[in-house]
Amino acid sequence: MKIAIVCYPTFGGSGVVATELGMALAERGHEIHFITYKQPVRLALLTGNIFFHEVHVPEYPLFHYQPYELALSSKLVDMVKMYGIELLHVHYAIPHAYAGYMAKQMLKEEGINLPMVTTLHGTDITLVGNHPFYKPAVTFSINKSDVVTSVSESLKDDTERFFDIKTEINVIPNFIDSSKYDLQFTDCNRGMMALPAERIITHISNFRKVKRIPDVIKIFYKVQKEVPSKLVMVGEGPEKEYAERMCDELGITDKVLFLGNSTEIDKILCFSDLFLLPSETESFGLAALEAMINRTPVISSNSGGIPEVNEQGISGFLSEVGAVDEMAENAILILKEDATLERYKDAAQKQAQKFDIKRIVPIYEAIYQKAFSLV
């Protein structure tokens, strides 16, 4: 199949999922065309059947906002015609489903029927899409997709609650390629992060309000009083500066490392002992799954789709949003004894293996067949 994938090319989970899916589909013989404004960060290699087409948006001073949707839908039309692309898969509804629908309509005028699959990822529904300024366009473009998928049951419920949805929503969970983690990193060097007697606690995100970064710091502050440890903060975003200030005020700057964005999170997770994800809401929590496959148990909130990923008392613990005392107690319980930590590490990895890409990619292929049958 020749498939166009539209996604955000940045560090966000939706772009990661889209890129990993595209690469896995290419391995299974499909021809994949990534169409976006920059080469996706996880896209390491452009091979014979993986293409990247950049969307250029010419700057014009008349425009206060440059019309990306227009450029994207035009690029889609051109690439579909040039490469004979047979299906369009857009990740994150805003504005991709809207631009995709416009491309579909333009192609229809020329006698080309292009099926469109839209995957909903979370904030496109819960935080952004639900805003009254976007809602009619988001509802319209979801309903005009041939097939809609969502990354968790929780996100499906939210979508059906917030929008007037006429299309069936198929839940396909996010995934991980377990085979990559059979290898032991020879450079898994925890010595550069912490002393031998210290535990390493990690948080990875885009440092937005929804991630409750102050809770991450508060939890760590309590944990390090009981268990010698370091906190590794990976990512960039609006809450980072405040987090740095908090660490300063609490007198723990020497125990917290802010690493910025990283394309090598597996190399960080391989020496992590615990992952913190106390988010306000999270449609899935891909970062938690990536931690778990790297044998890192998770202390998280119980919001959104996280309970579909992190299993209470097995791969870690879940608490109400904001329950930092309970989260810290559970973290200490996991970290205190070596034997206990090893048990949670094994269980976390086992739980993550349930989300193996080999099980998920055929589900997407079946969804593509379904989309074909509908146009």
Residues that bind ligand GMT (CB under 6 A): 12-14, 17, 92, 121-123, 126, 151, 174, 206, 210, 281-286
CB of 335 to ligand GMT, least distance (A): 25
Q: Which is nearer to ligand GMT, 101 or 175 (CB)?
A: 175
CB of 77 to ligand GMT, least distance (A): 25
CB of 109 to ligand GMT, least distance (A): 32
Q: Which is nearer to ligand GMT, 221 or 284 (CB)?
A: 284
Q: Which is nearer to ligand GMT, 228 or 237 (CB)?
A: 237
Q: Which is nearer to ligand GMT, 176 or 223 (CB)?
A: 176
For residue 35, the cross-strand partners are 53
CB of 125 to ligand GMT, least distance (A): 8
Q: Which is nearer to ligand GMT, 21 or 55 (CB)?
A: 21
CB of 144 to ligand GMT, least distance (A): 21
CB of 186 to ligand GMT, least distance (A): 29
Q: Which is nearer to ligand GMT, 80 or 289 (CB)?
A: 289
CB of 91 to ligand GMT, least distance (A): 8
Q: Which is nearer to ligand GMT, 207 or 368 (CB)?
A: 207
